[in-house]
């Protein structure tokens, strides 16, 4: 069961990137009414993905698997940082593009 946290984290991380890309691809069409909803889902997926990693690492601490923690901590910290930065950049780009369209 605990192993599914990593899979869920990966799926939600990918979803956090895919949704703003969908928003950007739909920018030129007139169907861009749900961009706020997709951006909020994207940010929520990113937060939940990071939360899953925190819970998984808490589990490793609880069972005292120090070897697994030491082996994976750098990769998890780097990946979490990349996930957060890329998600933020994609959603900010979406916000800037759609903000001008919404004001008109």
What are 37-82's pLDDT values in tens digits?
999 999 999 999 999 999 999 999 999 999 999 999 999 999 999 9
* Cβ atoms within 10 Å of 92's Cβ, excluding its own: 12
List b or e across 69-90, with b for residues whose CB sees 16 or more CB atoms inside 10 angstroms.
eeebeeebeebbeebbeebeeb
User: Residue 17 has which token pair?
Assistant: 């990137």
Query: What whole-number distance in Å separates Cα of residue 37 and Cα of residue 66?
Result: 40
User: Would you kindly state where each structural domain of the chain is located, as residue ranges?
Assistant: 4-103
pLDDT band at 102; cut points 50, 70, 90: low
Q: What is the pTM for the complete model shown? A: 0.89
Rounded average pLDDT over 18-41: 87
Closest by alpha carbon to 40, among 16, 69, 4, 73? 16
What was the pLDDT predicted at 49? 98
* Cβ atoms within 10 Å of 26's Cβ, excluding its own: 17
User: Residue 101 has which token pair?
Assistant: 């369209």
């Amino acid at each position: 069961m605990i192993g599914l946290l990593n899979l869920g984290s990966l799926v939600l991380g990918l979803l956090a990137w895919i949704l703003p890309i969908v928003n950007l691809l739909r920018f030129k069409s007139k169907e861009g009414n749900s961009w706020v909803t997709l951006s909020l889902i994207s940010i929520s997926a990113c937060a939940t993905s990071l939360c899953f990693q925190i819970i998984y690492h808490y589990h490793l601490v609880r069972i005292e698997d120090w070897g697994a923690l030491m082996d994976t901590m750098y990769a998890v910290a780097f990946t979490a940082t990349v996930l957060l930065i890329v998600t933020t950049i994609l959603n900010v780009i979406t916000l800037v593009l759609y903000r001008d369209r919404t004001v008109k």
